[in-house]
A = this chain, B = another copy of it.
Amino acid sequence: MSTRTPLTVGVGVLGYAGVARAHFNALRKLPYIFPDPPVRLHLVGIAGRSPAGADGAARRYGFDYGTTDWRRLVEDPQIQLFINCSPNDTHAEPSLAAAELGKHLLCEKPLARDAREAKRMWDGVRRRRIVHQVSYNYRFVPAVRFAREMIQAGELGEIIHFRTQYTDESLSDPSTPHTWRQEKRRAGSGAVGDIASHVLDLGRFLIGELKQVSGMSRIVTPRRPAKAGSRTMKVVDVEDLYVGALEFADRGMGTLEVSMFCPGRKNFLTFEVNGTQGSLCFNLERLNELEVYRPEPKGRRDRGFKTVLVTDRDHPYGGRWWPTGHIIGWEHTFVHQLHHLIRAIAGEETVRPLAADFQDGYINTVLCDALVEAARTGRRVNVK
Contacts and interface: CB of A to CB of B under 8 A. Distances in A.
A1 to B, nearest CB: 8
Contacts of A272: 262
Given A163-B165, A172-B276, A380-B379, A302 B241 contact: no
Interface of chain A, main secondary structure: mixed
A312 interface: yes
A360 interface: no
Contacts of A321: 329, 331
Interface stretch (A65-73, A108-116, A226-234, A277-285): A277-285
A216 B214 contact: yes
Q: How many copies does the complex hold?
A: 4
A303 to B, nearest CB: 6
A53 to B, nearest CB: 12
Given A28-B28, A220-B160, A325 B257 contact: no
Given A216-B214, A245-B216, A304 B293 contact: no
Interface in A303-320: 303-309, 311-312, 314-315
Contact of A257 (B163, B276, B284, B309): B163
Contact of A241 (B160, B165, B326): B160
A243 to B, nearest CB: 4
Contacts of A311: 266
B263 A277 contact: yes
A259 interface: yes
A29 interface: yes
Contacts of A165: 163, 255
Interface in A204-219: 212, 214-216, 218
A306 B309 contact: no
Cβ-closest 7 pairs across A and B:
A266-B325, A264-B293, A267-B325, A378-B380, A304-B306, A255-B255, A329-B329
13 contacts: A25-B32, A28-B32, A29-B29, A163-B257, A214-B215, A216-B380, A243-B255, A259-B274, A264-B278, A264-B303, A265-B279, A292-B302, A305-B307
Interface of A: 1, 21-22, 24-25, 28-29, 31-32, 35, 56, 60-62, 146, 150, 160-161, 163, 165, 167-168, 172, 212, 214-216, 218, 220, 241, 243-247, 251, 253-257, 259, 261-268, 272, 274-279, 284-288, 290, 292-295, 301-309, 311-312, 314-315, 321-332, 378-380
Given A263-B279, A292-B302, 17 more contacts: A160-B241, A167-B274, A214-B378, A216-B245, A216-B380, A243-B245, A243-B253, A265-B274, A267-B325, A292-B304, A301-B308, A301-B312, A302-B308, A304-B308, A326-B330, A329-B332, A378-B380
